Amino acid sequence: MIDFVVHGAFMLYAISFMMGLATIFTWVERKQSALMSDRIGANRCYIRVPFTDVRFVAWGLFHAVADGGKLLLKENFTPATYDRVCYNLGPWLASVPVLLLFAVIPFGGTLTIGDRSYAMQVAQLDAGILFVLAVSGIGILGIMLAGWSSNNKFSLLGAARAASQMISYEVAMGLALISMVVTYGTLDLGAMVRWQSQLLAGAIPAWGIIVQPIAFVLFVTACIAENKRIPFDLPECESELVAGFFTEYTSMKMGLFFLSEFIAIAVVSALTVTLFLGGYNLPWMTDAGFEFPGGATWSMPRWALVVLQLGTFSVKTFLVGCFMIHVRWTLPRFRYDQLMAFGWKFLLPLAALNLTVTVIARWLAL
């Protein structure tokens, strides 16, 4: 019974964490881009206390709520000729896998209740990385279905672009991930986080970004490409294809694509944190507490440690997501041939080279 309650709580936390973070990222995207270009940004939406003139603006945070409400209330327009099944299936196939991805990501250390201990993740899979790669591949299907079933040139072009781009960049991402797997010697994401809390040379935390900096750059680049964000937003570029693969979608179907894009930012931020930035741990922190390089230790109560780990993971994920939004508002877009050339001629050889060097170093270390 207690198992059921705890795992249910984990699932609830995971889903609300993802959805909440995605909602906040829509606000961050507006506000951060505004600050970067000397504007003010979203600040109009407010909630008024009834019968008074007291208004809560909350720096424009309610704009996300207003957007959701607006999308729900819009007319559900469908094109005259469309494939009914595929058209309705597309948004779900695009948005469910990104939510599923978070199931294997550990968002905290070990939770101990009574004499039982639970690893704080929804599904403690031994093959977590493989699950990530497999499920993130399903998202392409939804986009292909959406683009093809809309019976529209722009949608089809966007879908074709999305498919070729995501498949191309998944290769580089997979190779970067394999080099991380070789480094950590495990496929389990929780074990990877525990590996990262050991120390290099007795002082530096062995985070993935320090052990494998090239893999970090490759992974983040490929993740931005997987998310179809600028500078890789060819599938939905507004200036050429109206909205790419979801041109013909309206109301909450379009909202699902929109939301899945922001959930995807949150998920790949969480993945980056888990793989490269020490996961839920602060530097010199383990499940037992802090162990500083001088030999000093600071053990905390169990509940405080769990809360600290949850908070650390949230803040790290938020900051990585902000970095991705920062990249999106800084770089101009690639041309399509440049995109393909960048993926196949630069990222893939670099990833292969990185993997080779990693394997040789690992073989020599054994």
- Is position 127 an interface residue for another protein (rule: CB under 8 A)? no
**Start-to-end C-alpha separation, the chain:** 44
Beta bridge partners of 205: 199
Closest C-alpha to 282, from 270, 290, 293, 274: 290
Separation between Cα atoms, residue 259 and residue 68, nearest integer Å: 9
- Is position 326 an interface residue for another protein (rule: CB under 8 A)? yes
- Is position 329 an interface residue for another protein (rule: CB under 8 A)? yes
Q: Which of 327, 340, 352, 359 binds another protein (CB under 8 A)?
A: 327
- Is position 36 an interface residue for another protein (rule: CB under 8 A)? yes
Separation between Cα atoms, residue 246 and residue 32, nearest integer Å: 25
Separation between Cα atoms, residue 238 and residue 236, nearest integer Å: 6
Query: 26-61 burial string, b = 16+ CB within 10 Å, else e?
Result: bbbbbbbbbeeeeeebbeebeeeeeeeeeeeeeebb
Taking the least distance from each CB to another protein, the nearer of 35 and 304 is 35
Task: Give me the least distance between CB of 230 and another protein, in Å please.
Answer: 12
Task: Give me the least distance between CB of 5 and another protein, in Å please.
Answer: 40
- Is position 38 an interface residue for another protein (rule: CB under 8 A)? yes
- Is position 353 an interface residue for another protein (rule: CB under 8 A)? no
Angle between helices 348-365 and 153-184 (to 10 degrees): 10
Taking CB under 8 A as the criterion, which residues in 179-218 touch another protein? 217
Which of 61-69, 177-185, 323-331, 357-365 is the region at the interface with another protein (rule: CB under 8 A)? 323-331
**Phi, psi (5° rounding) for residue 41?**
90, -175
Task: Give me the least distance between CB of 60 and another protein, in Å please.
Answer: 11
- Is position 330 an interface residue for another protein (rule: CB under 8 A)? yes
Which of 159-167, 194-202, 324-332, 351-359 is the region at the interface with another protein (rule: CB under 8 A)? 324-332
- Interface residues toward another protein, by CB under 8 A: 32, 34-40, 43, 217, 326-327, 329-331
